Structure 1
Amino acid sequence: MEGVFVHESSYVDEGAVIGEGTKIWYFCHVQSGAEIGCNCSLGQNVNIAANVKVGNGVKIQNNVSVYEGVELANYVFCGPSCVFTNDLTPRAKYPKGNAAYKRTLVGEGASIGANATIVCGHEVGAWSLVGAGAVVVSDVPSHALMLGVPAKQKGWVCECGCLLGEDLACSDCGRVYYKVDNGLEEVER
């Protein structure tokens, strides 16, 4: 794995693919079949399960487990101790295996705050922002600001992360958006 940093306390199983420039810090485990893109950062105590796909430029903070069935697109941010699930009805006595896993897709540039929970089977839209401690139980539109338990949309955010006003124009970077069925799209400049 040339051009990859893996701390000596971490394990990368045979069959995992890790892109150049990626850094894997203390006490991590990347399981066989996982694919991690280029220039990613995995903080302390991160687990990437078998067959998980992680895009380029993804930052996964401390104490996050990304379970099979979850896919993280490019530039996703996972805050400390955020939680992903992959089975809606788990039972220790009656394990179902990966046939029961529900797919969860986190779109490009989305950010998930510390201690937020993403219940499986939902899509978190591109450039959306899920606030700290929120519990996502439904699909998240692109650029949506989601807060609370259960998470509800409380506004819109720009690709740069700035909160948008009613005019859907960013006061920081100048991007302007318009509403579409699944969230916002940027007006071409």
Structure 2
Amino acid sequence: MTNKLLLNGRVWNKGDIMGWWKETIDIVKEKDPAARTALEVLLTYPGVKALAAHCLSHFLWTHHCKLLARMHSQFWRFWTQIEIHPGAEIAEGVFIDHGSGLVIGETAIVEKGVMLYHGVTLGGTGKETGKRHPTIRQGALISAHSQVIGPVEVGPGAKVGAGAVVVSDVPADVTVVGVPAKVVRIHGQKDETAIHEIEENREYYLKKLEEAKEASFHSSGL
């Protein structure tokens, strides 16, 4: 009998699993001032439950138990209101805050230190096969109700503003907002031209945001 398992392309032992729990809880306590104790995080944070459940779902998926993996992920979708396809690759150190309505598609890749808020969709266009969902690089932040669609890449340290719709690659260390998303900050400095354009077209962007929210109710993006 072995105490090791293969997950996300690496071999895990018992110590790694305990380390995953500790890192996950520590990150929640670091990033959310409302989190007071480890027990509170374990019992009341749906994002932690969803990520832990995904570890098992992904293990089943990569070991040729795809139907069981889907059933397991759907069970936890019911309990957490967070839908993560078992094929998605999610690194350690990811924080899902609130989480309700969050959807992560089959070929999505989410790297270490990424922060995801409620209502986020990491979805596909529904047309391609193969890699058709986003890659979110280390330390990126995806704000509430934003949509990242297709095999695009959000660079390390990038920030996607609330309600944005991302359909093309986002460079590292920038902030993007709007529909479609446009760069408004580069390395913390404002891009005044982009901000002015977004303000001039505020009604158009609000309309597009409402259309994107409506579409998210009819398609999970998986």
Q: TM-score, normalised by structure 2?
A: 0.51
Q: What is the deviation of 1:66?
A: 1.2
**Alignment match, 1:52:** 88
Alignment pair present for 1:132 and 2:175: no
Q: TM-score, normalised by structure 1?
A: 0.59
RMSD between aligned alpha carbons? 3.0
Structure with the higher fraction of residues in helix conformation: 2
**Alignment match, 2:178:** 148
Q: Is the 8 A contact 1:109 1:128 kept in 2?
A: yes
User: Matches of 1:34 and 1:146 in 2, distance apart?
Assistant: 34
Alignment pair present for 1:117 and 2:147: yes
**Alignment match, 1:107:** 137
Structure 1: 5+ residue stretches without partners: 1-14, 36-42, 90-95, 158-162, 167-189
User: What percentage of aligned pairs have identical amino acids?
Assistant: 25
- Map Cα deviations across residues 107-143 of structure 1 (whole Å, 9 max, x no partner): 0000011000001110000000000000001000001
User: Matches of 1:112 and 1:73 in 2, distance apart?
Assistant: 12
Q: Secondary structure at the match of 2:57?
A: coil
Alignment pair present for 1:82 and 2:120: yes
User: Matches of 1:52 and 1:150 in 2, distance apart?
Assistant: 25
**Alignment match, 1:164:** 189
The residue type equivalent to 1:32 in the other structure is S
Number of residue pairs aligned between Structure 1 and Structure 2: 132
Structure 2: 5+ residue stretches without partners: 1-6, 25-41, 61-78, 192-222
Q: Secondary structure at the match of 2:21?
A: coil
**Alignment match, 1:33:** 58
Change (3 A) 1:56 1:32: closer
Q: What is the deviation of 1:80?
A: 1.3
Structure with the higher fraction of residues in strand conformation: 1
Q: Is the 8 A contact 1:86 1:102 kept in 2?
A: yes
**Alignment match, 2:204:** none
Q: Secondary structure at the match of 1:75?
A: coil
User: Matches of 1:101 and 1:87 in 2, distance apart?
Assistant: 11
